[in-house]
């Protein structure tokens, strides 16, 4: 029989459709994927094509004077880099669409995806994330910053070259507001952080754990909104990603590589999105919110039921998915 589970952190009801549960192979594209070249002359993110994406904001250089990671302004930014968030129509709550939007190019190589990163390569990437995150919050127009990555066509990526994005918006998005309110309500009722309590329960039960390190725990939520949806929580409470210590950053890089590598192996290189959910540096000490990283393989599609009800149908039992990932092998890292 199916179960209907409640996700206390997102506020969603989820149908865990046991009868429709699928093995990992059913979720993956069984067709052989064409090999990806190391360089494309038409790709704006490949080494040697920097003139196509010239608006560089930050980089990590290599020993030869080139670069390993670049942050550039997004040519097709969702928001305007110039201007002020002035109200245009108070009755309809409209403001100018100004803010910040950058692309973080993760490697000079067109085919060097995160599942094959070394720990140091991901540490470098996370350090760029933190640098740009703090820089965005120095802009007084920015009220919320989101760091995210789209991998694969089903995840909405338009360029194959491995990259992440960061956006600073002049408003706090409604979904973020909703989750803050849920966390605040839980804190008022219990006097404890909802995220910390959830993490403690998952560690105690072990059933949905994917991996655990000194500083982080990766698990599939009890009421996972979609198949193989993984959350990575820091064990030290903080509402803001930028408070991460150097030791914890290395730990997170190793864990993130492991989870992405296991997803790559178990689901045959699925499309996925990951998002760092965090409040601002000024809100880091808030006791009710806890930053975390969410990884969402795009192996199922929302349809009429989800659109019509706001409920999700998950055809993968979280406990079974976690067991599959724990058992999955890791691809070998590729050095550059």
Indicate if the pLDDT at residue 330 is higher than 50: yes
Mean pLDDT in residue range 225-233: 97
Which of 184, 216, 11, 36 is CA-nearest to residue 109? Answer: 36
DSSP 202: H
Cβ-proximal residues to 153 (8 Å cutoff; 6+ apart), any chain: 271
More confident residue, 157 or 144: 144
Phi, psi (deg, nearest 5) at residue 260: -65, -35
pLDDT at 335: 59
Indicate if the pLDDT at residue 334 is higher than 70: no
Tell the burial category of 38 from Cβ atoms under 10 Å away from its Cβ (0-12, 13-18, 19+).
middle
Of the residues 117, 151, 161, 163, only one is catalytic, namely 163
Domain ranges of the chain: 3-327
Average pLDDT, the chain: 92
More confident residue, 1 or 123: 123
Mean pLDDT in residue range 195-212: 98
pTM, full prediction? 0.94
Instruction: Write the Ramachandran bin of 132: left for phi over 0, alpha for psi from -120 to 50, otherwise beta.
Output: alpha
Cβ-proximal residues to 247 (8 Å cutoff; 6+ apart), any chain: 215
Q: How many residues does the chain have?
A: 336
At the second CATH level, the architecture of 3-327 is 2-Layer Sandwich (3.30)
pLDDT tens by residue, 80-138: 999 998 887 766 788 889 999 999 999 999 999 999 999 999 999 999 999 999 999 99
Decide if 290 is catalytic: no
Categorize the per-residue pLDDT at 30 as very low, low, confident or very high, splitting at 50, 70 and 90.
Answer: very low
Mean pLDDT in residue range 12-16: 95
Categorize the per-residue pLDDT at 34 as very low, low, confident or very high, splitting at 50, 70 and 90.
Answer: low
Mean pLDDT in residue range 139-146: 97
pLDDT at 114: 93
Query: Rounded to whole angstroms, how far apart are CA atoms 252 and 88?
Result: 42
pLDDT at 180: 97
pLDDT at 32: 37
pLDDT at 173: 96
Cβ-proximal residues to 53 (8 Å cutoff; 6+ apart), any chain: 44, 45, 70, 72, 75, 103, 105
Query: Rounded to whole angstroms, how far apart are CA atoms 87 and 170?
Result: 11
Question: In the chain, what is the straight-line distance between the N-terminal and C-terminal CA atoms, in Å?
Answer: 49
């Amino acid at each position: 029989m199916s179960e209907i589970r409640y996700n206390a952190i997102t506020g969603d009801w989820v149908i865990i459709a046991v009868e429709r549960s699928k093995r990992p192979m059913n979720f993956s594209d069984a067709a052989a994927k064409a090999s990806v070249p190391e360089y494309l002359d038409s790709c704006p993110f490949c080494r040697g094509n920097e003139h196509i994406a010239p608006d560089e904001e930050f980089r990590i250089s290599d020993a030869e004077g080139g670069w390993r990671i670049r942050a550039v302004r997004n040519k097709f930014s969702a928001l305007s880099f110039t201007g002020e968030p002035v109200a245009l129509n108070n009755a309809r709550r409209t403001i100018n669409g100004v803010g910040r939007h950058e692309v973080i190019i993760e490697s000079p190589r067109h085919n060097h995806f995160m599942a094959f990163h070394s720990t140091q390569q991901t540490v470098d990437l996370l350090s760029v994330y933190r640098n740009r995150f703090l820089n965005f919050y120095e802009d007084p127009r920015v009220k919320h910053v989101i760091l995210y990555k789209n991998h694969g066509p089903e995840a909405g990526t338009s360029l194959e070259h491995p990259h992440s994005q960061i956006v600073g918006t002049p408003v706090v998005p409604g979904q973020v507001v909703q989750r803050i309110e849920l966390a605040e309500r839980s804190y008022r009722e219990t006097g404890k952080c909802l995220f910390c309590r959830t993490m403690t329960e998952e560690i105690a039960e072990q059933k949905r754990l994917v991996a655990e390190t000194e500083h982080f725990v990766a698990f599939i939520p009890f009421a996972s909104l979609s198949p193989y949806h993984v959350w990575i929580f820091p064990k030290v409470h903080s509402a803001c990603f930028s408070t991460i210590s150097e030791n914890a950053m290395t730990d997170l890089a190793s864990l993130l590589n492991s989870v992405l590598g296991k997803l790559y192996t178990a689901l045959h290189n699925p499309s996925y999105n990951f998002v760092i959910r965090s409040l601002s540096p000024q809100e880091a000490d808030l006791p009710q919110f806890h930053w975390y990283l969410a990884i969402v393989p795009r192996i199922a599609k929302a349809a009429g039921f989800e659109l019509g009800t706001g409920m999700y149908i998950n055809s993968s039992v979280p406990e079974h998915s976690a067991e599959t990932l724990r058992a999955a092998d890791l691809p070998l890292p590729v050095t550059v």
